[in-house]
Amino acid sequence: MLKKKEKQPSFTLVRKRVPYLFILPWIIGFLVFTLGPLGSSLIMSLFDWPITGEAKFIGLNNFTKMFTADPQFYDSLVITFKFAAIFVPLNLISALVLALLITQPVKGVKIFRTIFYLPAVVSGVAVSIIWGWIFNSEFGVLNYLLSLIGIEGPSWLIDPKWAIVTIVIASAWGVGTMMLIFYTDIKGIPPELYEAASIDGAGPLRQFFNITIPTITPTILFNVITSVIAALQQLTLVLLLTGGGPLKSTYFYGLFVYNNAFKHHQLGYASANAWFMFIIILILTMLIFKSSSTWVFYEAEMKKGGKK
Amino acid sequence: MKLSKMKLILLFTIALALLLSACNSTKSNSDEATEDGKVKIRFATWDVGNDVQLQQNLIDEFNAKNEKIKVVLEAYGGEYDTKITAGIGAKDAPDVMYMWNYPQYKDALEPLDSYIDKNGEEYKSDFYESLWNYNSVGGETLGLPVGYTTHVVYYNKDLFDEKGLEYPQAGWTWADLQETAKKLTNKDKKITGFAFPGKPDPYDFEMYLWGNGASYVDSDGKLKGNLNSTKSIETFSLFQDMLKDGYAITTEGSGDTEMKSGKVGMFINGAWYLSPLKEAGINYGVVEVPTFENGKSVSIVSSSGIAMSKDSKHKEAAFEFMKFWTGKEANKERIAFELPVLKSVVEEEKLQEDPVKGVFYSMLEQSEGYTPASFITENWSQVSENLGFVFEQIFNPSTRVDPKKALNEAVK
Amino acid sequence: MVAKKITSKIIIYILLIAGVVLSIAPFYWMIVGSTLPSGEIFRVPPKLLPGDYLAKNFQTLNESLGIAKIFWNSLFIALVYTLVSTLISAMAGYAFAKFKFKGKNVFFFIILCTLMIPSQVTLIPLFEMMVTFNWLNTYQAIILPTLASPFAIYLMRQNMKAIPDSIMEASRIDGAGELKIFFTVILPVTRPAMAAVGIFLFMSQWNSLLWPLITLNSKEMFTLPVALSSLIGMARIDYGQLMLGTTLSTIPIMIFFLLLQKHFISGILGGSVKE
């Protein structure tokens, strides 16, 4: 998925301006709607910027406040990382399991594939509303079903231990996109590889670990990065489903920023918060990329070591 | 090849045409005047559902009568604060907007005293006095009262009848409520006597402290010695003990869901639930909030008013509309979903004698002279968030911190 | 051996069906909820079969929201956005896949970086920009800022790479201009990829909440997610209506996906999957 070996174009282009024309719309969009606002918000982060009244330049005070005087900053950061630590592996594994299931040679897999993907087409608002009802501890369907098999379900949205689990479950419901990406990749593995392995006497489990996993490592890398980014930015669900509670157990960083801006009216401080999140994401992504050289195998290496 | 080329060009043209029409077909809000030369007043409401339609009808009425002003309703619903905040921040706030949390927005609102004075003393004194309090900050009137609700006890008559219990009467005490709740509770049928929010809104909860002679803050806005006073701790303990003894439960929301299910005997809330509970088929009655020993039956007033943006370019026209919106006719038109705030209307409609609505008015009269902490504290939104967290710690079953400890911690 | 094969098939089917239940059941409750009056949604035990309150819920919801207009807003915005954004990303993707030019790697690196920008960073300045342009509460305020989608460009580039250079060279020899080559040669052969990207963009716009929530003011301009979120969080939510609103916003996008899923799946990775 990530990187296929590039073939150099066999011609040199005379008209040098052409490619720039093709990327021009993107460049305009990027400059006006991304880079501009990005810069503005960096400037805002150096100000005490209330909703009403004059903005006041305060240097790095917003950042100092964030690091030294706001315990909620650390709490939210920790909770968000905790969420990412549960969500990312769970999501990856379930996506992979589902993808493997729908690559099995059984009847009707196409229908299953479609059904598994359906939750991923639903908006975050809809997900919050639907799961809010399912998780209601008193009147929710989930606890009712659990009670039928003799389990007393927890108070999902009241008990801080479980609330984060509800967010994980509700987010993981949309695992379909990742499943599809794995699926297309697994489907792309040449069957000869498996045939050769079977002849060598490798069972399905060994085939999975020796062929499937190494081949799809670039895709795993891609999925790890996108889901880490998504997890760290999670906002819609905590805003609409739990409101950050109970006991601030789901007061994710995204909500922290959102509330500072739109509830407490501290636009400068919120900009500083948001920029910090941006930097964290950049660093994390870079670290994951760095680590990838040890566990991601690209096509070229595969061929060298392969059986072809 | 030719055919697909045609198709692509067609597709591209359609896309362009659509985009262009998008740019032309919509009008921006901030347009100074409408096509017919009227002054345009933007009016923001937080209401949802049918109420918006009722408001729109009333606005249509105003627009039809008025030759110079056209009012446009903007219904923001659940994310009202976010949108107002964004609008104010961008100097693009609606001219007139529904408002309750005046301290939070005070710098963006136009003081109305001079406008009100022009209309004479009689105009002002027709509103209930305690409501002006809730629509002013620091001595300046920032809004005209539109509606209000006090909190009352809703009780499920069917559950009372089942147990052969007398319906509660005004003047009852918290001890009475506890006694009744105990009798109503039936573990086998999953019926609980009393329910209150597990994460109460600090703004609302302060009324219980008032009833017991305490408050969150003193007139300087200091929490210490007030929030953790003996009386205050006593109040929190009263609620926590009801949970511990098992005849009260905490609710995920404000408690209406639980009440609607018919499994809860009593809960305390505002007038919002009068019709939803009826629609859910609950046979209920309402009664004043119980009193503490040597205390009073006091309620917080959740007041709604309408305020004018400081940045409005048509302040006279805006006030003209505000007067209409808070006038006698409008109060009467809204009577189905809003408690009138004009004494003359209450009198004409004999609302004080109404067995349901009358309770809200007697609570209003008893609750005069209390100022919520939100009007005193400088940064209430932050304080409120912190208080809410502390209250949750006291009531949440997984923590249930001792009130004394929690409140002493909170004032540090 | 045969027995083993059958058992493994049974296990696979059990897992598949478990997956189906987990995927579908929440939708089922959503639909059941939309056919019940609020009072009946909160009953113990919960109702598991549809009621007969659907028409009434629809009527009240329609009276308060104006469903047709909200649908039109969502549809129009998503459609225009999809068409223009697909074209922009196809153009950029083509340049990145098939041309060598100065700064190419830098530009591409920037695109990857923009994937990582949290939306909250740009939210407030963007909003102020919309105010300056006098664009609040307009369609273009929703459509324009995210037109250049980095993910779409990335996908297009992956797909364009699979096109053999010989096609372009042949046209160049015939004397065709670059734009003509793009529109008449490149776009037709990348139709599956464009379809996939288009579906992806359409769904993301249809479901988008935060930005429209902040820029749209009047009920007449609301998109479905904004209208839905305006129903939550207020004192008087009517759950039946809320569930119906959710159903109405969800069903069309599901149907849309079901109809086009073939293109979506075959296009998403440059046709590497043979159906």
Q: Do B88 and A51 touch (CB under 8 A)?
A: yes
Domain segments of chain A: what residues? 71-305
**Predicted confidence band of residue A197 (pLDDT cuts 50, 70, 90):** confident
> Which pLDDT score is estimated for A210?
86
DSSP three-state, residue B260: helix
Mean pLDDT over A107-116 rounds to 89
- CA-closest candidate to residue A182, choices A224, A121, A119, A122: A224
Of the residues B29, B53, B258, B302, the best mutation for testing chain C's interface (the one with the most C CB atoms within 10 Å of its CB) is B29
**Phi/psi at A86 (5° precision):** -85, -45
Mean pLDDT over A139-151 rounds to 89
Partners for B (CB, 8 Å, 3+ pairs)? A, C
Mean pLDDT over C183-192 rounds to 87
Query: In terms of C-beta density within 10 A (0-12 exposed, 13-18 middle, 19 or more buried), how is residue A217 classed?
Result: middle
Q: Do C80 and B18 touch (CB under 8 A)?
A: yes
CATH number at residue C183: 1.10.3720.10
- CA-closest candidate to residue C123, choices A127, A273, B381: A273
For the cut 80, the answer to whether the pLDDT of residue B295 exceeds it is yes
* Cα atoms in the Cβ-side hemisphere of radius 13 Å centred on A24: 6
Mean pLDDT over A22-42 rounds to 92
For the cut 70, the answer to whether the pLDDT of residue B33 exceeds it is no
Measured between CA atoms, the residue of chain A closest to residue C250 is A122
A28 close contact with B: CB closer than 8 A: no
**Predicted confidence band of residue B24 (pLDDT cuts 50, 70, 90):** very low
**Predicted confidence band of residue B22 (pLDDT cuts 50, 70, 90):** very low
Contacts of B397 in chain A (CB under 8 A): 155, 158-159
Of the residues C124, C207, C224, C256, the best mutation for testing chain A's interface (the one with the most A CB atoms within 10 Å of its CB) is C124
C206 close contact with A: CB closer than 8 A: yes
**Predicted confidence band of residue B178 (pLDDT cuts 50, 70, 90):** very high
> Which pLDDT score is estimated for B28?
42
CATH class of B39-148+303-350: alpha beta
Task: Answer yes or no: CATH 3.40.190.10 is held by domain B152-298+378-410.
Answer: yes
Q: Are B231 and B213 in contact (CB under 8 A)?
A: yes
DSSP B75-105: E-GGGHHHHHHHHHHTT---SEEEES-HHHH
Measured between CA atoms, the residue of chain B closest to residue A157 is B252
Of the residues B191, B380, B398, the best mutation for testing chain A's interface (the one with the most A CB atoms within 10 Å of its CB) is B398
C167 close contact with B: CB closer than 8 A: no
Query: In terms of C-beta density within 10 A (0-12 exposed, 13-18 middle, 19 or more buried), how is residue B349 classed?
Result: middle
Count of domains observed in chain C: 1
Alpha carbon distance B159, B281 (integer Å) = 13
CATH number of this structure's domain A71-305, picked from the four choices 3.40.50.720, 3.90.550.10, 3.40.50.10800, 1.10.3720.10: 1.10.3720.10
For the cut 90, the answer to whether the pLDDT of residue A78 exceeds it is yes
Q: Which one is predicted more confidently, C267 or A26?
A: A26
C15 close contact with A: CB closer than 8 A: yes
Q: Are B321 and B69 in contact (CB under 8 A)?
A: yes
Min CA distance, B106 vs chain A (Å)? 9
For the cut 60, the answer to whether the pLDDT of residue C247 exceeds it is yes
Min CA distance, A8 vs chain B (Å)? 28
Distance from CA of residue B201 to its chain's centroid? Answer: 11
**Please, which contacts does C172-179 make with residues 24 or more away whose CB atoms are closer than 8 Å?**
C172/A11, C178/A15, C178/A18, C178/A21
Measured between CA atoms, the residue of chain C closest to residue A204 is C8
For the cut 60, the answer to whether the pLDDT of residue A130 exceeds it is yes
For the cut 90, the answer to whether the pLDDT of residue B309 exceeds it is yes
Residue ranges making up the domain that contains C208: 65-268
Domain segments of chain B: what residues? 39-148+303-350, 152-298+378-410
For the cut 50, the answer to whether the pLDDT of residue A2 exceeds it is no
Contacts of C127 in chain B (CB under 8 A): 86, 89-90
Q: Do A160 and B398 touch (CB under 8 A)?
A: yes
For the cut 90, the answer to whether the pLDDT of residue B203 exceeds it is yes
> Which pLDDT score is estimated for A10?
42
User: Which of A12-21, A69-78, B213-222, C63-72 is least confident?
Assistant: A12-21
Between the CA of residue A4 and those of A302, C99, C203, what are the distances in Å?
Answer: 12, 17, 27
Measured between CA atoms, the residue of chain C closest to residue B74 is C218
Residue C128 in any domain: the answer is: yes
For the cut 60, the answer to whether the pLDDT of residue B6 exceeds it is no
Residue C44 in any domain: the answer is: no
- CA-closest candidate to residue B195, choices B257, B282, B283: B257
In this predicted model, what pLDDT tens digit does every residue of C20-54 receive, in sequence order?
999 999 999 999 999 988 777 777 778 888 888 89
> Which pLDDT score is estimated for A8?
44
Residue C8 in any domain: the answer is: no
> Which pLDDT score is estimated for C236?
57
- For residue B109, what are the contacts with CB-CB under 8 A and spacing of at least 6? B99, B102, B142, B143, B307, B308, B309, B310
Mean pLDDT over B12-38 rounds to 52
Mean pLDDT for chain A overall? 87
Structure-derived torsion over alpha carbons of residues B52, B55, B61, B63, reported in degrees to the nearest 10: -80
Chain length of chain C: 275
B104 close contact with A: CB closer than 8 A: yes
Q: Do A247 and B397 touch (CB under 8 A)?
A: no
Mean pLDDT for chain B overall? 87
- CA-closest candidate to residue C149, choices C100, C81, C66, C214: C81
> Which pLDDT score is estimated for B27?
41
**Predicted confidence band of residue A195 (pLDDT cuts 50, 70, 90):** confident
A51 close contact with B: CB closer than 8 A: yes
Alpha carbon distance A139, A117 (integer Å) = 28
**Predicted confidence band of residue B75 (pLDDT cuts 50, 70, 90):** confident
> Which pLDDT score is estimated for A307?
37
Percentage of residues of chain B with pLDDT beyond 70: 91
- CA-closest candidate to residue A243, choices A138, A139, A128, A71: A128
Mean pLDDT over B360-366 rounds to 92
